[in-house]
Chain A
């Protein structure tokens, strides 16, 4: 059977320029590497919360490194230096795909871990240090990294199997639901308590207290919207792509959605670049460590 007469697709693949990939990759790499190094160097930051943030930054570093390297290889292949279908290139492509998968699964797992850690901090605050010891934290991180490595290898090895993709998508949806529930629950309880504090007649000025409470409530709502909204906006298009790949490979509408694949990957990478701003840089201690590191490097150069 000869190849069927092919109608020229009306939805051409949207190509993102390589410099954009490079820029986002390098920025994300620099930020996340900075976070990882700061957390490792500063002994004050050796707490469960910062261990999870460091793990998230490490996964983001791996993702941006891998994506930047892949972009570089694609550039070389387009120029002609590399053979597109050579066996070693295909193997390297598989390795990079598995590293990317590992970092995706790891990022989502780290988000989940951070949300659960914050939840325990708030609702079991007095027993927090017994529940979340450093040993348990390290064990959890070890489990996360090993699971991600194994599942990444499986995913890339058996990518044609629909079961693996269904597992991947189901993992994302379940994590999303858990994170959403945890943050909303924390937010609601925080609001109720803030309301009670503002309701105290003896608190500094009734009306003034209420206004402050409203202002801070708005900020809390904004913070949570940004946190959750950025996660959803950056990750959902890619996963919808996977879903459509399974559900309707031949549908023209789905084809038009899948033509935007590179844009969705850009969104994923930009999420890796935004993450430090949302999670890590909110800590004054971490910012202080950055400044010390950067300024001290200047000091050393001067002296």
Chain B
């Protein structure tokens, strides 16, 4: 730009006119006559649009949470809705098992596993040591999960603190009634969380996606795997 300036100055000496080129002209040849709308209309429109977008996003997020609200009055429907894994597929009532396409001999066992997962009080007593181990690894897994994941979505920690977070992990420890592959895989989930323990000092109040969600997702993905066999 300084080159142009020098050139224009030499031109000025030669001729009578000055030709200036600058990226930002100090005097913009913009005419302000005949404006139909307010001159700051783009500014106002932009900020109103942005505010509407942010508020809309917030309402969409809260709406997502409300529509995902659980219905506890009907445990069977809750079971059906919340446990679509094919290892535990079509677990509505015992008599439906034989009618299903996925007639595997493991359905009886997976039904027991499923009922254990959802209605813990219906199950028999767990082995005390398994429960202790389950709770302990669950606690470690939660801390590890918290340490690893920090998405800033920190509301999960409350649920994780509660026993509800422990129970699915305890349920997964119950091997006797579980499909061999799924149980094998689920059992291997627990040791993996131990590796995350060194992150346990990180961000105690950070994210989290607690391990039961991860286990559930892993069993989802493995359910699809189980399905193939």
Contact = CB atoms under 8 A, between A and B. Distances in A.
Contacts of A283: 150, 202-203, 206
A222 B206 contact: no
Contacts of B204: 284-285
Given A190-B209, A200-B167, A212 B70 contact: no
Interface stretch (B34-42, B89-97, B132-140): B34-42
A199 B163 contact: no
Interface string B188-229: 010010011001011111111101111011100000000000
Contacts of A190: 153, 156, 208-209, 213
Nearest to A86: B2
B101 interface: no
Contacts, number: 243
Nearest to A115: B151
Contacts of A122: 149, 151, 207, 209, 214
Contacts of A45: 202
B100 interface: no
Given A197-B165, A202-B164, A252 B155 contact: no
Contacts of B109: none
A118 B150 contact: yes
A83 to B, nearest CB: 11
Contacts of B151: 118, 121-122, 183, 186
A221 B62 contact: yes
Interface in A25-76: 44-45, 47, 49-50
Interface in A231-247: 232-233, 236-237, 240, 244
Interface of B: 1-2, 5, 17-20, 23, 27-33, 35, 37, 39-43, 46, 50, 53-54, 57-58, 61-62, 64-66, 68-72, 75, 78, 82, 118-121, 145, 148-156, 158-159, 162-165, 167, 189, 192, 195-196, 199, 201-209, 211-214, 216-218
Given A202-B167, A204-B164, A217-B62, 5 more contacts: A122-B151, A224-B152, A233-B50, A254-B42, A257-B43
23 contacts: A6-B27, A6-B28, A7-B31, A7-B32, A122-B214, A159-B23, A186-B209, A193-B213, A199-B82, A200-B118, A212-B158, A214-B65, A215-B155, A216-B158, A223-B154, A228-B57, A233-B54, A252-B31, A252-B32, A253-B39, A256-B39, A256-B40, A282-B150
Interface of A: 1-4, 6-7, 9-11, 44-45, 47, 49-50, 85, 87, 90, 118, 121-123, 125-126, 128-129, 159-160, 183, 186-204, 206, 209-210, 212-225, 227-229, 232-233, 236-237, 240, 244, 250-257, 260, 278-279, 282-286
